Amino acid sequence: MTGLREKYLTAIADAGDEAALEGVRLAALGKKGEVSLRMRGLGAMTPEERQTAGPALNALKDEIATALAEARARLADAALDARVAGQWSDITLDPRPLPQGTIHPVSQAMEEISAIFADLGFSVAEGPQVESDWYNFDALNIPPEHPARQTMDTFYMARAEGDNRPPHVLRTHTSPVQIRHMQDYGVPCRVIAPGRVYRADYDQTHTPMFHQVEGLAIDRDISMANLKWVLEEFCRAFFEVDGVELKFRASHFPFTEPSAEVDIRCSWAGGQLKIGEGDDWLEILGSGMVHPKVLAAAGIDPEQWQGFAFGMGIDRLAMLKYGIPDLRAFFESDLRWLRHYGFSALDVPTLQAGLSR
């Protein structure tokens, strides 16, 4: 019985395909198979012989059947592996470069502006976005009847019935920061105040929330000449054009006197904006000498101190520099737009290495 067992287990192990395995099964367990014939011969044996041979033959039959089943499974697994190997594809790999996060153009422009003014000796000041109307209007010499104080232009915060505190607004400009900074740190000072501001307006060039940067320089002998030099240096660095020409137009702002709107020479030839050349002029900011009443509101003696202030829209500067046609796209959360106009998160703007790399 031992020789029969070794014979068929060896034959099963050596079978290389399903057909060879079926041949071994028929030779051992088929109707005329060797094991089957011996089991049919049990009837001719004596009871004592059957008692020994019967269990041994049944055990052999079961062992051969189990070995056959295991061999079939092994052959099926091998065939599957071969088929998979021929059709292999690593689905864990992205066929395209993995998308990387980018810096929003407004954040990029804000960092560029901060880097430029830091080189000019200005520090960054901050203030709250929810302001009292005193800081937002009164301290800046904006009278109660001024149109900017109407609800059609300004977002006023709701007040509970019986609340007698001064009204608060979502700040309409970053100019309140200059009042707070002078109150807290005094003069002389040179600061910029970038941040969000809010006005009730919405079209291709206006949104209810946008970004501004305020500039303030106070000392004993500052003049409009200093203002002109600072703005020229800023525009030259920001637009990365050496030949910058600015034009100051007389204007009126309640918080500066004299006041001037500033235009930059440009060209629109072929529908493309080019700074520093051509015969066209483009308004980019408002500026002027700080009004004595503004200094007095901040606790500064206007007889001893004077200075200049300016304000410009960061979103508008980003649109001009990077050729972005619609202001509303800045706030639509379109990842395709951001991947197109965004900047590498690791390229920090510096004047030495370049601003808009």
pLDDT band at 203; cut points 50, 70, 90: low
Mean pLDDT of the chain: 87
Per the domain annotation, does 349 fall within a domain? Answer: no
Asked if residues 35 and 61 have their Cβ atoms less than 8 Å apart, the reply is yes
Which tens digit of pLDDT belongs to each residue from 148-177? 888 788 999 888 777 777 889 999 999 999
pLDDT (0 to 100) of residue 284:
93
pLDDT at 45 over 80: no
For residues 269 and 187, the model is more confident at: 187
**Do 71 and 134 fall into the same domain?**
no
* Total count of domains within the chain: 2
Asked if residues 169 and 157 have their Cβ atoms less than 8 Å apart, the reply is yes
Distance CA 47, CA 69 (A): 33
Distance CA 35, CA 49 (A): 16
**Do 184 and 284 fall into the same domain?**
yes
Poorest-pLDDT segment among 39-48, 62-71, 323-332: 39-48
**Do 51 and 114 fall into the same domain?**
no
For residues 232 and 44, the model is more confident at: 232
**Do 172 and 305 fall into the same domain?**
yes
Mean pLDDT of 271-281: 87
pLDDT (0 to 100) of residue 193:
97
pLDDT band at 1; cut points 50, 70, 90: low
Per the domain annotation, does 92 fall within a domain? Answer: no
**Do 195 and 123 fall into the same domain?**
yes
pLDDT at 122 over 70: yes
Asked if residues 292 and 302 have their Cβ atoms less than 8 Å apart, the reply is yes
Mean pLDDT of 181-189: 96
Mean pLDDT of 306-312: 97
Per the domain annotation, does 95 fall within a domain? Answer: no
pLDDT at 30 over 70: yes
The residue range of the domain holding 39 is: 2-86
Residue 22: CB atoms within 10 Å: 14
Which tens digit of pLDDT belongs to each residue from 315-335? 999 998 988 888 888 888 888
**Do 147 and 207 fall into the same domain?**
yes
Residue 75: CB atoms within 10 Å: 16
Q: What CATH number is associated with residue 124?
A: 3.30.930.10
Handedness of CA 310, 311, 314, 316 (dihedral sign): negative
Distance CA 265, CA 314 (A): 19
pLDDT (0 to 100) of residue 83:
82
Mean pLDDT of 97-122: 89
Per the domain annotation, does 132 fall within a domain? Answer: yes
pLDDT (0 to 100) of residue 134:
94
Which tens digit of pLDDT belongs to each residue from 211-223? 999 999 999 999 9
